[in-house]
Amino acid sequence: MDTLNPETRLNRRSVLHGLAGTAAVALSGVRPGEALAATFPSKRITAIVPFGAGGGSDTQTRIWGEAIAPLIDQRVVVENVAGSAGVAGTKRGIAADPDGHTVVVGAASTIAINPFTNKAADYNPSVDLQPVALLGYTPYVLVVANDLKIRTLAELIEYGKEHDGKLTHAGWTAVGELARKGLELRTGLKMRPVPYKGSMEAITDVIAGRASASIVDISTAIPFTGKTVGSGSVTPILMTGPDKSSALPWVQTTREAGLKDYVIDSWTAVFVPRKTPADIVEFLNTKTRQALKTENVKARYADLEIEQRDYDVDVMQAFIARQISGWKALIEEIGSAD
């Protein structure tokens, strides 16, 4: 959903840097980062993940927490707040003290989709949250139950025609639901949505054959797909974008399947309450980018097919703005077709 120039920068300095604070630092002769290093963080950092344990965002947060801890001399404690499609955890993060010691992990579903589709999401990410850093960027993949014996999207569409009303889609976030609706809009495929609390519950039912299919981020799917065709506990049949996956090279892309204008991807990012001081935001961004460049993180991300993007705070703000705009457009398209 990220279609514009990632190097576009927003002018946010005048907003984030108060005149009094700037003057004080200038008079002291100490750069902001140097002054901050002596006082922040003063205690452990709590990272609120608005989903259950074991999913893609949770995995990336834990990898990040382990990597950044020695760089900031404090532990990072992950707090999973599952349910309500990520709304509860996101709102808890928004309400946290804006001192940098509580961060909230965001994804496309909680930041760019929920505010337009979920009445409970009575928040405005552009106003209530400050983007800090991107943890990872991930494609999505459509997986189906092995007992369907389906290998391609065309076969799934044909199966759906022959078994009207039988196919079900296991979903737990707004991304999956929009992905399902977008796919149906472009193919005529029909899958009855079945909601789950989290990715592990959803994919477990696909494995067991209680659900027909699910569109999941690739880091969630990889442990269950196997390394060769048909060797996993679920069958991946479509990358929901134009690019091949090195981990699943046999799986069709949307281009290969003949789909146009259908790209479902996602990301995991760190946010803080909007009033968090700019120096703290910059500090966390810098340390996060350092942490993600360590060899251990790079190796683990490669295994999970997570793409890294080295965004500073300004680029992050522009990236999130584009994501919100892009997902809003898809939501409006789907809404006009209903």
pLDDT for the residue 18? 41
Choose between 17 and 279: higher pLDDT. Answer: 279
Confidence label for 173 from pLDDT (cuts 50, 70 and 90): confident
% of residues, the chain, pLDDT over 70: 88
Round the average pLDDT of the chain to a whole number and report it: 88
Cα angle: 186, vertex 189, 195; to 5 degrees? 105
Q: What is the CATH number of domain 139-253?
A: 3.40.190.10
- Stretch 147-176: mean pLDDT: 94
Selection from 257, 176, 169 nearest residue 220 by Cα: 176
pLDDT tens column, 40-84? 999 999 999 999 998 889 999 999 999 999 999 999 999 999 988
Domains 13-138+267-337 and 139-253 share a fold: yes
Q: Which two tokens mark 117? A: 């589709």
pLDDT for the residue 50? 96
Q: How many CB atoms lie within 10 A of CB 230?
A: 10
C-alpha distance from residue 11 to each of 16, 286, 312 (Å): 10, 18, 13
- Which segment of 52-56, 281-285, 288-292 scores lowest on mean pLDDT? 52-56
Label residue 256 left, alpha or beta by phi (over 0 means left) and psi (-120 to 50 means alpha).
Answer: alpha
- Stretch 117-124: mean pLDDT: 94
Does pLDDT of 161 surpass 80?
yes
- CATH superfamily of domain region 13-138+267-337: Bordetella uptake gene, domain 1 (3.40.190.150)
pLDDT tens column, 239-261? 998 889 888 999 999 999 999 88
Residues, the chain: 338
pLDDT for the residue 305? 81
Confidence label for 35 from pLDDT (cuts 50, 70 and 90): low
Neighbouring residues of 336: CB distance < 8 A, sequence distance ≥ 6? none
pLDDT tens column, 184-198? 999 999 999 999 988
Q: What residue ranges do the domains of the chain occupy?
A: 13-138+267-337, 139-253
Q: Is the peptide bond before 277 cis (omega within 30 degrees of 0)?
A: no
Chain centroid to CA 173: 10
pLDDT for the residue 250? 95
Does pLDDT of 99 surpass 90?
yes
- pTM metric for this prediction: 0.74
